[in-house]
Amino acid sequence: MTKKRIIRNIFFLLVMLLNVGCDQISKNIAREKLNAYEPVSIIDHYFTLIKVENKGAFLSVGSALPEFLKFTLLSIIPLLALSYGIVYLCTRQNLSKINALALSFAIGGGLGNIYDRIIHGSVTDFLHIKLGNIQTGIFNMADVSISVALLLFILQAYIGSKKPKTINI
């Protein structure tokens, strides 16, 4: 492996770890400073902090599953997929910088939430945005990382679609 490749891998692994770190620090603050289900308005009810413990996946899907099945589906299988993602990120030669960055954000966010499920038995969510009739579910910084990853993947797809196509005759 070349020195350039090693530096690139270290950079993207650091991005991943920074995502996990920001997520875990913010969740620890939320656990210590917020009371469950008591909203704290930050920006005139547009941005609210409200701590909930999510025992399922996105929007609590799967929270009623038996514990063994829930642990397998929401922790073990995603952990295996994220492990594969790390190997893919570090070994793939032709991965664009935007896609590598997106993958780093996605893996970092996923690891943050899986860490919560394994260590705390649930994922701490605490952020809520409401803009008129439009509002989010309650989410956390890991979810923000995953959303940023999605936007970066879409950006890469858009940029890739704008490149001129060559036709071999």
Question: Which residues have a Cβ under 8 Å from the Cβ of 85 and sit 6 or more positions away?
Answer: 103, 106, 107, 110
- Residues belonging to the chain: 169
Q: How far apart are the C-alpha atoms of 131 and 39, rounded to whole Å? A: 16
What single letter denotes the amino acid at residue 12? F
Q: Which two tokens stand for residue 118?
A: 């394994």
Task: Round to the nearest angstrom and report the end-to-end CA distance of the chain.
Answer: 37
| Residue 143 appears among annotated catalytic residues | yes
| Residue 23 appears among annotated catalytic residues | no
User: Catalytic one among 23, 44, 116, 125?
Assistant: 125
CB count, 10 Å around CB of 151? 11
User: Catalytic one among 23, 44, 116, 143?
Assistant: 143
| Residues with active-site annotation | 125, 143
